[in-house]
């Protein structure tokens, strides 16, 4: 029998969350962002759940190729564009749309031989200061691109740094608007946070939104909002089982470094999940886990293959009991249970993005179709 740890992918949740993005940005088209192997979920595994998107956005040509192998004929956008001149051959061959964010990418296009002009997304740096042309250089880049026979339609894009936070998007939006005011082309501005929080304004939602995280059912602005507040459902459940039980007396300790010391007689459950699976090693005591759907705290350091939980609040737990590390737990008294990846991440000083992307190769995945229990 394989180790009991597994990651379940819920196709119905992906489909539902995509619909939530559409509801938040009516009339906009939706790029389903599937970079980083669909945020750790697996491109092939999520494809069925997200195939009603208008296009897929990612960064890696190898990942784009995987989408084409799934017979996806619709738009694919390379969010960082080309990394070198010969990437353009792949863009032509696979019919990829690509971001253009620096001058060398325009030089490469000017040298590129292709029968099919490329659709490009010209990126403006409106204050994030990661990728993109400054507002001063943007119009000149647009003029250069529009003179190239290798280029078809030019869309205009930017990315917000604080869509999930108090600073907000107004300062960046103003720069984008002022710089593109009289330029033709479709607009794309919103990641998940902007889609959820700011896309009621037509200027903000533009023609294409680019949600990633929310499709997987995590929230960009936790704990201000929780998944339920945004109507999102977790698309991944990481679950395992208890593979050991220990009875501790006061003064006994758990695991490496004896981080946790029992102050009373207690039962400890040992879970088949550790940092070699991608569970964060720095999860402190108190990080929540569900055992048989009941919240219990981690006690003691996470080790490579195992972690330990305090079973005081689940006296009926026993060897083989179901453990939910995050996602959808078993029903208790007829009620579904949930443990949000956002909450686990917060305990661990990180964000849901990092946890879902970090699951390791040895984790066994299973895709659950809507008709599965
Ligand atoms: C990753 C990414 C997104 C999606 O961001 P989320 O916060 O996951 O919604 C959108 N746009 C660009 C340019 C990105 O790199």
* CATH code for the domain in which residue 141 is found: 3.20.20.10
Ligand 1 center to 22 CA (angstroms): 16
Is 34's C-beta closer than 6 angstroms to any atom of ligand 1? no
Is 192's C-beta closer than 6 angstroms to any atom of ligand 1? yes
Q: What is the pLDDT of residue 372?
A: 65
Q: What is the pLDDT of residue 267?
A: 98
Q: Can you tell me the distance from the alpha carbon of 196 to that of 183, in angstroms, rounded to the nearest whole number?
A: 27
- Give, for ligand 1, the residue of 36, 78, 79, 230 to mutate: max count of ligand atoms closer than 8 Å to Cβ: 79
Q: What is the pLDDT of residue 285?
A: 98
Within-domain flag for 207: yes
Domain co-membership, 197 together with 247: no
The token pair that represents 234 in the structure block: 């977790």
Q: Can you tell me the distance from the alpha carbon of 266 to that of 47, in angstroms, rounded to the nearest whole number?
A: 45
Is 159's C-beta closer than 6 angstroms to any atom of ligand 1? yes
Q: What is the pLDDT of residue 370?
A: 84
Query: Which of 185, 154, 191 shows the shortest CA–CA distance to 172?
Result: 191
Domain co-membership, 48 together with 127: yes
- Torsion angle (degrees, nearest 10) of CA 227, 231, 237, 239: 60
Domain co-membership, 167 together with 197: yes
pLDDT bin (cut points 50, 70, 90) of residue 2 is confident
Within-domain flag for 359: no
Q: What angle do CA 82, 83, 87 make, to 5 degrees?
A: 55
Q: Can you tell me the distance from the alpha carbon of 16 to that of 22, in angstroms, rounded to the nearest whole number?
A: 10
Last residue within a domain, chosen from 165, 190, 218 = 218
Last residue within a domain, chosen from 153, 187, 218 = 218
Rg of the chain on CA atoms, in Å:
23
Q: What is the pLDDT of residue 46?
A: 98
Domain co-membership, 212 together with 305: no
Percentage of residues of the chain with pLDDT beyond 70: 99
Within-domain flag for 195: yes
What's the pLDDT tens digit per position in 204-255?
999 999 999 999 999 999 999 999 999 999 999 999 999 999 999 999 999 9
pLDDT bin (cut points 50, 70, 90) of residue 1 is confident
Query: Which of 210, 193, 191, 205 shows the shortest CA–CA distance to 77?
Result: 210
Is 132's C-beta closer than 6 angstroms to any atom of ligand 1? no
Q: Does the annotation flag 304 for ligand binding?
A: yes
* 242-278: b (≥16 Cβ within 10 Å) or e: bbeeeebeeebebbeeebbebeeebbbbbbbbbbebb
Domain co-membership, 128 together with 213: yes
What's the pLDDT tens digit per position in 138-178?
999 999 999 999 999 999 999 999 999 999 999 999 999 99
Within-domain flag for 355: no
In this model, does residue 105 exceed pLDDT 80? yes
User: Under DSSP, is residue 170 helix (H, G, I), strand (E, B) or coil?
Assistant: helix
Q: Which residues have CB under 8 Å from 65's CB, separation 6+? A: 90, 94
Q: Does the annotation flag 130 for ligand binding?
A: yes
Within-domain flag for 76: yes
Ligand 1 center to 267 CA (angstroms): 43
Q: Which residue has the tokens 């990651």?
A: 7
In this model, does residue 297 exceed pLDDT 70? yes
Domain co-membership, 209 together with 313: no
Within-domain flag for 1: no
- For residue 57, what are the domain limits? 11-218
In this model, does residue 294 exceed pLDDT 70? yes
Q: Which residues have CB under 8 Å from 15's CB, separation 6+? A: 49, 50, 52, 370
**CA distances for 113 relative to 64, 88, 372, angstroms:** 21, 9, 49
CATH assignment of the domain containing 289: 2.40.37.10
Ligand 1 center to 35 CA (angstroms): 9
Q: What is the mean pLDDT of the chain?
A: 97
In this model, does residue 373 exceed pLDDT 70? no
SS (H, E, C) 55-121: EEEECCHHHHHHHHHCCCCCCEEECCCCCCCCHHHHHHHHCCEEEECCHHHHHHHHHCCCCCCEEEE
Which of 96-105, 109-118, 178-187, 364-373 has the weakest average pLDDT?
Answer: 364-373
Domain co-membership, 43 together with 138: yes
Domain co-membership, 240 together with 137: no
The token pair that represents 298 in the structure block: 């981690």
Structural domains of the chain, count: 2
């Amino acid at each position: 029998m394989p180790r009991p740890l597994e990651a379940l992918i819920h196709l119905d949740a992906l489909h539902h969350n995509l619909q939530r993005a559409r509801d938040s940005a009516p009339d906009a088209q939706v790029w389903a962002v599937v970079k980083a192997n669909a945020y750790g979920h697996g491109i092939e595994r999520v494809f069925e759940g997200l195939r009603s998107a208008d296009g897929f956005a990612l960064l890696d040509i190898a990942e784009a190729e995987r989408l084409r192998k799934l017979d996806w004929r619709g738009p694919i956008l390379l969010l960082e564009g080309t990394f070198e001149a010969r990437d353009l051959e792949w863009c032509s061959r696979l019919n990829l749309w690509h971001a253009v964010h620096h001058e060398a990418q325009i030089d490469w296009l000017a040298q590129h031989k292709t029968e099919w002009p490329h659709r490009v997304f010209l990126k403006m740096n409106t204050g994030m200061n990661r990728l993109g042309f400054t507002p001063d250089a943007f119009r000149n880049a647009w003029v250069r691109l529009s003179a190239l026979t290798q280029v078809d339609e030019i869309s205009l894009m930017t990315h917000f740094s604080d869509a999930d936070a108090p600073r907000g998007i107004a300062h960046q939006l103003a720069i984008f608007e002022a710089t593109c005011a009289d330029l033709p082309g479709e607009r794309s501005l919103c990641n998940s946070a902007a889609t959820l929080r700011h896309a009621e304004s037509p200027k903000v939602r533009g023609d294409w939104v680019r949600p990633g995280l929310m499709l997987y059912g995590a929230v960009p602005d936790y704990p201000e909002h929780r998944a339920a507040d945004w109507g999102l459902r977790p698309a991944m459940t990481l679950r395992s089982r208890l593979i050991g039980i220990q009875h501790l007396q006061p003064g006994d300790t758990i695991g490496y470094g004896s981080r946790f010391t029992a102050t009373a007689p207690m039962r400890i459950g040992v879970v088949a999940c550790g940092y070699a699976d991608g569970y964060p090693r720095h999860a402190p005591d108190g990080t929540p886990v569900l055992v048989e759907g009941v919240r219990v705290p981690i006690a003691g350091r996470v080790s490579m293959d195992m972690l330990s939980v305090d079973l005081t609040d689940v006296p009926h737990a026993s060897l083989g009991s179901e453990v939910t590390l995050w996602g959808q737990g078993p029903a208790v008294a007829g009620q579904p249970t949930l443990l949000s990846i956002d909450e686990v991440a917060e305990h661990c000083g990180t964000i849901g993005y990092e946890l879902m992307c970090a699951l390791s190769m040895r984790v066994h995945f299973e895709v659950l179709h809507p008709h599965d229990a």
